[in-house]
């Protein structure tokens, strides 16, 4: 377990590496704990005076997170993104607790938003509500991660659109549409994750804005309103990327359908061309006793001529209708 405490020293934030929980200073504003065991979390909760209600699995949760206000305590359970924002492989769980005078973060591993906020906190000018200030810094870093992930998602969507629409028909025939659709499906799953986690940030900001327990000064109130504006802008951006992605997926499915229809059309053409000769061959293959054309000297060649002619006429009709050039 690694413990870092952040205190206000001469009006600015400073970090302290804490060797043991018993040495956490009472003046600490933010206490960041990395990789604690369940027993260590319970011990810290009792020592620092906050409620920690997790199930027996502790951090082992598949939920993206939830927000809860109980008394004067705000509790946030959230799942971390990977550094690139995709969140589809390794992740870390974090419990963030804020009360009237402290911010406590308990996490099972690296969490980019908290790591970035910790770097930014050192030397930061502290205001009248430093614990809320630090919470807003964490939320700001989390929104920056979401924004970069959305930028990357938009680039992927535009790349897919160029692949699908900016090529000639002959080159489009070489595009692996199933693989493209699979990539878009993976991207859509990431978008679901991003939007869910962004909703978590939005709920935290709304709690800070409207809950009567968190009464803050004008300076922090202004920062909260700015964060609320960023939440709205990011939500609009996510909605735009989501809509583009949905349209591109629909278009890809449409092109797959057109390709399947083209294959079925060729089978239909082949069946149409060979149906008349097949019918003639079936008639002449019957074992009737009296079939006068079988006794004619040139009946074999005439049969081939009629079969070729019966195949050529449907082929000419198909070409006249333009089916071969589609």
Q: For 24-44, what is the mean pLDDT?
A: 90
What pLDDT score does 89 carry? 46
pLDDT tens readout for residues 244-299 = 999 999 998 988 887 777 777 777 778 878 888 888 888 777 777 777 777 777 77
264-274 pLDDT tens trace = 777 777 887 88
The whole-number pLDDT of residue 290 equals 75
Q: Which of 154, 152, 172, 153 is nearest to 163 (CA)?
A: 172
d(CA 285, CA 288) in angstroms, rounded, equals 9
| Interatomic CA distance for residues 298 and 296, integer angstroms | 6
Q: Domains of the chain by range and CATH?
A: 2-258 (3.30.460.20), 263-320 (1.20.58.340)
């Amino acid at each position: 377990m690694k413990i870092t405490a952040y205190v206000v020293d001469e009006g600015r934030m400073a970090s302290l590496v804490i060797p043991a929980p018993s040495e956490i200073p009472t003046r600490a504003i933010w206490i960041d704990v990395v990789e604690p065991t369940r027993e260590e979390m319970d011990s810290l909760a009792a020592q620092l005076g906050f409620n920690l209600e997790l199930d027996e699995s502790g951090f082992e949760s598949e939920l993206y997170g939830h927000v809860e206000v109980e008394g004067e305590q705000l509790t946030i359970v959230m799942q971390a993104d990977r550094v690139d924002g995709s969140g589809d492989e390794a992740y870390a769980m974090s419990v963030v607790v804020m009360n009237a005078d402290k911010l406590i973060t308990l996490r099972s591993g690296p969490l980019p938003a908290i790591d970035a906020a910790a770097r930014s906190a050192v030397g930061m000018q502290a205001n009248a509500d430093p614990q809320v200030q630090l919470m807003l810094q964490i939320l700001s870093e989390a929104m920056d991660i979401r924004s970069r992930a959305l930028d990357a998602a938009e680039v992927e969507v535009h790349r897919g659109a160029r692949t699908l629409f900016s090529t000639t028909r002959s080159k489009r025939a070489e595009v692996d549409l199933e693989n493209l659709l699979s990539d878009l499906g993976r991207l859509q799953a990431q978008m679901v994750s991003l939007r869910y986690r962004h909703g978590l940030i939005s709920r935290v900001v709304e709690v800070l804005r409207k809950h009567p327990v968190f009464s803050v000064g004008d300076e922090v109130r202004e920062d909260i309103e700015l964060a609320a504006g960023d939440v709205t802008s990011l939500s609009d951006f996510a909605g735009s990327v989501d809509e583009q992605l949905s349209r591109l997926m629909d278009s890809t499915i449409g092109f797959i359908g057109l390709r399947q229809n083209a294959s079925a059309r060729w089978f239909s053409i082949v069946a149409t061309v060979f149906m008349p000769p097949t019918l003639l061959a079936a008639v002449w293959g019957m074992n009737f006793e009296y079939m006068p054309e079988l006794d004619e000297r040139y009946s074999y060649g005439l049969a081939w001529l009629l079969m070729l002619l019966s195949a050529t006429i449907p082929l000419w009709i198909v070409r006249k209708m333009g089916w071969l050039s589609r």
